[in-house]
Each structure stands twice: as structure tokens, then as C-alpha cells.
Amino acid sequence: MPRTKPEKGWRHKVHEVIYEADTPMGKWFDILLFILIIISVLLVMLESVKWIDATYHRSLFVFEWIITILFTIEYIARIVTIKKPWKYIFSFYGIIDFLSTIPLYLSYILVGSQVFLAVRALRLLRIFRILKLVRFLGEASQLRKALKDSRAKITVFLFAVFIIAVIMGTLMYYIEGEQAGFTSIPTSIYWTIVTLTTVGYGDIAPITPQGQLIATMIMLLGYGIIAVPTGIVTAEMGKQVKSNKDADDDQFVHVNTQACTTCAKEGHRDDAKYCYNCGSEL
């Protein structure tokens, strides 16, 4: 996107780097941020491994502080450079960013606040922002479209699976009883889903002939109905492949990942001068 207005202030410049990815600086910022996120996730992982934590506790702690400070700077920069900060703060990514930054500070006040470190893994979802930049954009959006179009069918399917699980789980609880591990109906429903989805841990397994007979039926059912979501998605994809051939990309306009400085909406056309959502100049 051509940007020829030099009168824009430093906030605007920083905004462009942080929120957008269509300038070289913005691209680099996104990639660097993603590497930081990966390191932060790896840190949480390594800390969870007993012997690594025991041996390198000090180094991990230092790295943890570096990451936390960098994340804090990024978080403040994001708030400062956007015109409507609340939009960002209460957005999905805003909350994740906050929860990823806070644990270390909290650990001095609250014990057990390190549980929030798990939230950091969610920051990995930013990869999809970066993927937008590269050739996977089209592929990812095709997948998303196929999944979106088949959402209603898949909801009906999951509903049916869940009702089957409740009915069969209740039945198995009365047939098998506690000695086989079916200690309660919720546990029994858990087992039914483990069986229906063909996962089959084996931590709970039927031992009576009747229980094994019903288990067999649940398995065959699960083995058979996996065809349903597969059929749904495949049919959608087949349709898409066809319509893609028809369209051959000509009705699409290339959009970029630039976000409006006012309302933070993304997906503007490359030649857009004003935000399609709030009308403010880009």
C-alpha cells in the first residue's frame, strides 16, 4: 500500500509497524514477535520438565523476565498507538496478550498464578496472521470456507453423537457397574466417547459379555459414522474445487492485513484510502 503522507505522527508510524504487516518493518515486527512467542512457549514447557527446571532454574527465570518485559512493552505500545484502546483491550487477542504478560508480576502477589502461563500457548494463534502474508493464505481460507459451510451439518452430527453417547453411556453404567471402571454415568459417557471416536485408551474396558456386545456395537457405529463428517467436508471441498475452477480468482480483490488506526478492522483492499468499516482515513 502506498503511504506518501509524511505528516503522520510517531504514533501512526508505530501503529503501522505493530498492527500492520504490509510494510517491511511491519513484516519484520510480526516475524520477530512470533519468534518471541515461540521462545516464551518453549520456556513454559522447559520449566515444566522436572530435571531441566532443577538444573537451569536461574537461566530460565532470567529469560522469563526478559520475555515478560518485552511483552509488557509490546502491550503498552499496542494500547498507546491505537485510537480506541478499549477495542483492543477487550478483543480476543487483547485479553490473551494481557494474560500472557501478567503471570510473572502476579506471582509476587498470588501463589499459583503461573497457571496463566498456559494462556501463552494461545498467542501461537498469531501465526495465522503471518500465514496471511504468504502463499498459504489461499489454502487456509479455502479450508476455513469449507469448514464454515459445513458448520451446520457438523453441529447436527456432533449433537447426534452426543445424544448417542449419553444414551449408551447410561446403559453401560447399569450393565457393567463399578468393578469394570464404570464408576458413574459421567465416567461411563466419557468411556462411550473414547470408544465411539475409536480412541480406545483401555483405562476403562467392559468385562461382561453383554457389555462387550454393546461396546462392539458402539465401535462399529463409531467406525461407520466417521464417514459422515468426512462426507460433509469432502462434498464441500469438491464443490469449492469446482467453483474455484469456474471463478478462476477473477472476482477476488486482494486485501491486506493492515488494520484501521481507529477501529482496528483488517482486510482493506490494497488500494483503499478509507476504512470500509468506520470511514476514517488509513
Return the residue of 65, 241, 273, 280 that touches a copy of itself, per CB under 8 A: 241
Do the Cβ atoms of 36 and 130 come closer than 8 Å? no
- The span of 57-65, 85-93, 212-220, 247-255 binding a copy of itself (CB under 8 A) equals 212-220
d(CA 211, CA 198): 17
- The span of 39-47, 69-77, 84-92, 271-279 binding a copy of itself (CB under 8 A) equals 39-47
**7 grid coordinates:** 505528516
Angle, CA 81 vertex, CA 75 and CA 86 arms, to 5°: 70
Minimum distance between the CB of residue 94 and a copy of itself, rounded to whole angstroms?
Answer: 18
d(CA 198, CA 120): 31
Q: Is 35 in the site for a copy of itself (CB under 8 A)?
A: no
User: Would you tell me the crossing angle of helices 209-225 and 227-247 to the nearest 10 degrees?
Assistant: 0
Q: Is 227 in the site for a copy of itself (CB under 8 A)?
A: yes
- The span of 25-33, 101-109, 211-219, 260-268 binding a copy of itself (CB under 8 A) equals 211-219
Rg (CA), the chain: 25
Do the Cβ atoms of 123 and 96 come closer than 8 Å? yes
User: Reduced to 3 states, what is the DSSP secondary structure of residue 268?
Assistant: coil
Which of 194, 188, 186 lies closest to 219, judged by CA?
194
- The span of 10-18, 38-46, 60-68, 274-282 binding a copy of itself (CB under 8 A) equals 38-46
Q: Is 107 in the site for a copy of itself (CB under 8 A)?
A: no
Do the Cβ atoms of 254 and 270 come closer than 8 Å? yes
Count of CA atoms in the C-beta half-sphere (13 A) of 107: 14
Length of the chain: 282
Residues between 143 and 202 that touch a copy of itself (CB under 8 A): 143, 146-147, 152-159, 161, 163, 166-167, 170-171, 173-174, 183-190, 193-202
Residues between 1 and 30 that touch a copy of itself (CB under 8 A): none
Count of CA atoms in the C-beta half-sphere (13 A) of 78: 25
Comparison of 19 and 182: residue with beta carbon closer to a copy of itself: 182
Return the residue of 8, 127, 279, 280 that touches a copy of itself, per CB under 8 A: 127
Minimum distance between the CB of residue 8 and a copy of itself, rounded to whole angstroms?
Answer: 35
Comparison of 43 and 260: residue with beta carbon closer to a copy of itself: 43
Comparison of 82 and 232: residue with beta carbon closer to a copy of itself: 232
Minimum distance between the CB of residue 110 and a copy of itself, rounded to whole angstroms?
Answer: 15
Q: Is 49 in the site for a copy of itself (CB under 8 A)?
A: yes
Query: Binding mask 251-280 vs a copy of itself (x if CB under 8 A, - otherwise)?
Result: ------------------------------
d(CA 155, CA 152): 5
